[in-house]
Amino acid sequence: MHRSGTTGRSRLATVGTLLAALSLLLTLPATATPAAAAKAKRGTAYLGMGVIAHDGQAGAPPGTRVAQTAGVDVSSHQGNVDWPALRNIGVRWAYVKATEGTYYQNTYFTQQYNGSYKTGLIRGTYHFATPDTATGAAQADYFVNNGGGWSRDGRTLPGVLDIEWNPYGPACYGKSPSQMVAWIRAFLNRYKVRTGRAAVIYTATSWWTQCTGNYGGFGTTNPLWIARYSATPGTLPAGWAYHTMWQYTSSGPIVGDHDKFNGSYSRVLALAIG
């Protein structure tokens, strides 16, 4: 039997409920978005942390006729690393985060650095730069004093300056291009004095262009480790005719960050020996 009065009241009640729900949604605080998310905790930065967010990721590289030697890079994010498993899939070299700024040392450094060596890999260490917290020279000293040294044993790669997007604030750490270049130069000069080796520069072309003005003065002295999660390394920063290493993905097997050395294993060994 049709009860028009009851149906009308039910419809009014339903509409009222929907309006109340809509009003509640409009008054609730917005949920966190990537732009409003909390900044990273100091010490948690790692090689390529900002690449996906700023450069994107377009896939792993296809096969190539040029000899490439597989490598990985790790930090405390990977914890204890299964080095034998990595060697079994063809990895032959590795870089381990040693330090950041003048305030942080990798808490998994011993397992990662010694473990890679014991498994037969050629390995080295990197420093995550924070140019807004201390001078380049001070950070180079901190790096060398806490795992960033080098020895001519054929198993130790030169140290790496990881200079990229600031995970804790403005992308260029509040520095002008000329100030950034001066900071990088101070780090590189001090590292060379302390170790006798030219440090490798890890960066992404887009960051380098934005924050150094695409400065080309380090290409003849410092090897380039380019970050680009795509099918090719793409355009390199000014001054470098070729890259030495390429971080091409953050989603590879076992540890995530995988790399290619631009040459055969003999060239990795040559870089280690210096």
Structure tokens at 135: 């001078």
In degrees, rounded to 5, the angle at the alpha carbon of residue 99 between the alpha carbons of residues 128 and 81 is 100
Which of these is catalytic: 55, 73, 257, 259?
73
Burial class (CB in 10 A: 0-12, 13-18, 19+), 21: exposed
DSSP H/E element including 90: none
* C-alpha torsion angle, residues 108, 184, 145, 261 (rounded to 10): 50
Catalytic residue status for 100: no
**Residue of 55, 141, 164, 259 marked active site:** 164
User: Is 162 considered catalytic here?
Assistant: yes
The phi and psi torsions of 107 (rounded to 5 degrees) equal: -75, -15
Sign of CA dihedral 73, 75, 78, 80: positive
Contact 126, 73 (CB under 8 A): yes
Options 55, 141, 162, 257, the catalytic residue: 162
Compute the distance between CA of residue 65 and CA of residue 218 in angstroms, rounded to an integer. 28
Is the CB of residue 225 less than 8 Å from the CB of residue 244? yes
Q: Is 164 a catalytic residue?
A: yes
The Cα–Cα gap between 163 and 166 comes to: 9
Per-position DSSP letters for 98-114, written without gaps between them: EEETTTEE-TTHHHHHH
Give me the active site residues, please. 73, 162, 164
